[in-house]
Structure formats: structure tokens, C-alpha cells
Amino acid sequence: MLPNIPHTDFKRVIIIGAGFGGLALAREIAKREDLQVVLIDRNNYHQFQPLFYQVAMAGIEPSSISFPLRKVFQSKKNVHIRITEVHSVNPERKSIQTDLGEITFDYLVIATGASTNYFGMKEIEERAIPMKTVSEALALRNRILQNFEDALSVDNDDQREGLMSVVVVGGGPTGVELSGTLAEMRHFILPKDYPELDFKSMQIHLLEGSKDLLGVMSPEASAKSRKYLEDMGVIIHTEQVVTGFDGKYVTTKQGLRLRSDNLVWAAGVKANPLNGLNPEVIVRGGRIKVDEYNRVQGYDNIFALGDVASMTEGKWENGHPQLAQPAIQQGKALARNVWRVMDGKKAIPFVYKDLGSMATVGRNRAVVDLPFWKFQGFFAWLTWMFVHLMSIIGVKNRIMTLINWIWSYATYDQSLRLILRSKTIAQIVDKEEKNTEVV
């Protein structure tokens, strides 16, 4: 196969990854018609990661937080999208190697993001449920709902408790938000769906290796989120480091042993650098060391941004937080610098503007840390909803998400509790052949 990207007299910029940073960069530099932009991703859509947990808990549809890349760039003839896997970069040949073949570049931007970090624990990697993509969020939803179906048929309390109980590892925003949503489902929704089950036996455990939840936020936010979760019946274990999961029991380094068939892993991420770069530029967490212009150290025409980039700036000695805002800001700043250099001007060093952090714990409960104000409760919950709603790409997606939120709030219900199993074409063909043979 060949990528079949037309050759032009314009400089070619390849952007690998259509996450927050890559998409922000592509949308900005695509405004210049004297550049050829090649956007590469393994999916043909952008994913709004902060709301993955709501897809997993049947709160919103996957399509509401996903947006087709080709729709974003419909009017941009200088943007070429290729859906493929990138394996390596060859700096000497100024090219990347993909499943579609070799693609050359004048400038390369690596925005490959981060994936789940299991810290080398193979047993947990094989059995735990991650939540870093829409597909994984759907898999978690299927798993949780199928377990309740199975719990109706088992004949002993131990099996039933294992199927119904959930252990969430990671006390960051994802772990806190997921635990709160599970607690609300246990109280308002699941008893109506499964009246034969006793939900007193459903335990929700949240494990965190440090002493505080939401460690990246203020002490007020950490304490308040803990109180919210405990009031909702979530069992919180801090200073507990998970070391094993055999499919039935979760064990920690400190000796804790919890019965559950379901381990949701939200405990950390690791960057996805490309093969072919000088190993010396790969630093802690797999991130790529860049200068204040997002240029990979030692290369003039290769850049990195977002979760995969490690830029030392001010108090961010180990790189900026692996969140959406730093990626978006870096993407836009790099685009402006591309324009400045093309116009014969000097590039401007990147400076991260911390806009704050927030997390929701459930209905009417959230915590918000702004640079000038920290608050919690109902107004924080409204603020969280507004910010996330406006950050979703596409008017239709925003409307659909808002409708789902209003419906859930008014009815104490979520109408998307569907178990959707994928079936490959090969499986369908094989089944049809077998049916034909029987006939």
C-alpha cells in the first residue's frame, strides 16, 4: 500500500496524533494555504477523553464525545488525513514508516499522547480494565452490565459479591469521577433494573497509593472529594499500592485483600514516543525532551507536544501536567511559531498558563480549583458541566450530551445501558459458511 499524498511545492508538516494537542495544531496551521498538512491517527475521529467515564457508566453515547476528523477539515484542501499506525521515524531520511508505507516530511510533530501505565505488572495488565479510549470505555460498560446479568444466575454469595463489586485504582480525577458515578448508579438506577439483587453486597473500593485523593489539586478539593465519596458509600483506601489481581482478589503491598472480579485501572499513564529517535531524548515516563519551542532536543525539524512532550519551564521541572490544557496551548503556540518563522519573524518561547483543575464527584457535587478561587458543591458542579460541554467538538455533540445530562438529572436514570458486543467480518463469514454446510 502507498499513502498517495500529492507532492506540492509547499512545505509538508506531518502531525502524528489527533488528540487535544495534535488537533489544535492542525486546525490552526491549516489556515495557511501555503503549507501541506498531513494528519495521521489510528482512528478516524477525535476523542474527548475527560468524559470517557460517562460512556463507561452509560451516561452518554460514544458518538457524543467523538468527532470525525474529516468533518473538521472538510473545507481544507491542503489537509490530508491518513488512518494508519506509525512505527518509527527516520530523521536522516526525513521520513516516517507506517502501515501504508514510508511518508516523507519537511517538519514532523509527534503528538502521540499517552497510554495506560501498569508499571510492569503483567498480571494486572492482562486482567484489569483500562479506560484510555472510547473502545475501552465501552468494554468497561459491557463488563459491568454483563456482570449484573450473570449475578442473577449464580448460586452462592461469594460469586455474586465478586461480580457486583468494583475496585477502582487511582485517586485522580478519573478514579474519583468513576467511583462517584458507580455509587450513584448503585443507589438510583441498578436496583430498578435488577430488583432481584441485594445491592448492599455491592462494594465500591477506591485505592490510591498516596495519602490524598486528587493530589494535583488543592487540599480543600482533596478533603471535600473524599467526604463526598464517603457520604455516597465509596470505601476509600489511601496509601495502598496494588501489586496483584488474580481475577478474584485484588492485593496490595500493604497487605490489603479485596474480593472483586472487576479491577478498573486509572492509576497512571506513560507516554508513547516513536522508535528511531535518539534514546537520550526519552526521559521519565517515556516522554520526549523538548526545548521551549517544543522542538525535540538534537533535531531542527522534529517537534513534540502534549502528553508525550517533556518541557522544563518554571515550576514544571518534570514537564507540564499530562492534561488537555497544556496540549491545546502547546499546539496553538507551535502553530503561531510556524507562521512567525514562515514570515521571517522570531519564534516565541512557550509559557504555560495554568487555568485550574476540576473534578465532579456526582450529582450536585464537584470541586474546582481556579488560580484566583477555589470552591466546591453545586456551583462547582455547574461550572464543571459548562466547561466540559463547551470543550466538546461539534454543536450536535454538545446538544446530545446536554440532553443526556438533563434527562439523567430529571429522571435519576440513564437510558444507554446496552451491552454491545463487536463481531468481526471474519466471524460473520465463518458462521455463514457453517450454516451453508449444514443446509
C-alpha 88/C-alpha 106 separation (Å) is: 16
Annotated catalytic residue: which of 136, 161, 177, 292?
177
pLDDT recorded at residue 412: 77
Could you count the other beta carbons within 10 Å of the beta carbon of residue 117?
18
C-alpha 188/C-alpha 363 separation (Å) is: 11
Give residues with Cβ within 8 angstroms of 250, minimum separation 6.
167, 169, 205, 207, 242, 244, 256, 257, 258, 260, 263
Is-contact 165 204, C-beta < 8 A?
Answer: yes
Phi, psi at 150, each rounded to 5°: -70, -35
C-alpha 268/C-alpha 249 separation (Å) is: 21
Concatenating the DSSP letter of every residue in 34-75 gives TEEEEEEESSSEEE-GGGHHHHHTTSS-GGGGEEEHHHHTTT
Exposure string for 17-33, b = 16+ CB within 10 A, e = fewer: bbbbbbbbbbbbbbebe
pLDDT recorded at residue 106: 94
Phi, psi at 288, each rounded to 5°: -100, 125
CATH 3.10.580.10 fits 122-267, yes or no: no
Facing residues of 288 across strands?
Answer: 282, 309
pLDDT recorded at residue 411: 82
C-alpha 14/C-alpha 22 separation (Å) is: 10
pLDDT recorded at residue 268: 84
pLDDT recorded at residue 438: 40
Is 149 assigned a catalytic role? Answer: no
Q: Which of 290, 293, 370 is nearest to 335 (CA)?
A: 293
DSSP alpha helix (H) spans, 209-323: 219-231
pLDDT tens, residue order, the chain (439 aa): 567 888 888 999 999 999 999 999 999 999 988 899 999 999 999 999 999 999 888 888 888 999 999 999 998 999 999 999 999 999 999 999 999 999 999 999 999 999 999 998 999 999 999 988 998 999 999 999 999 999 999 989 999 999 999 999 999 999 999 999 999 999 988 999 999 999 989 999 999 999 999 998 999 999 999 999 999 999 999 999 999 999 999 999 999 999 999 999 999 889 999 999 999 999 999 999 999 999 999 999 999 999 999 999 888 888 899 999 999 999 999 999 999 988 889 999 999 999 999 999 989 999 999 999 999 999 999 999 999 999 998 888 999 999 888 888 888 776 678 887 766 555 544 554 544 444 3
Copy the grid coordinates of residue 10.
509547499
pLDDT recorded at residue 427: 52
Is-contact 51 67, C-beta < 8 A?
Answer: no
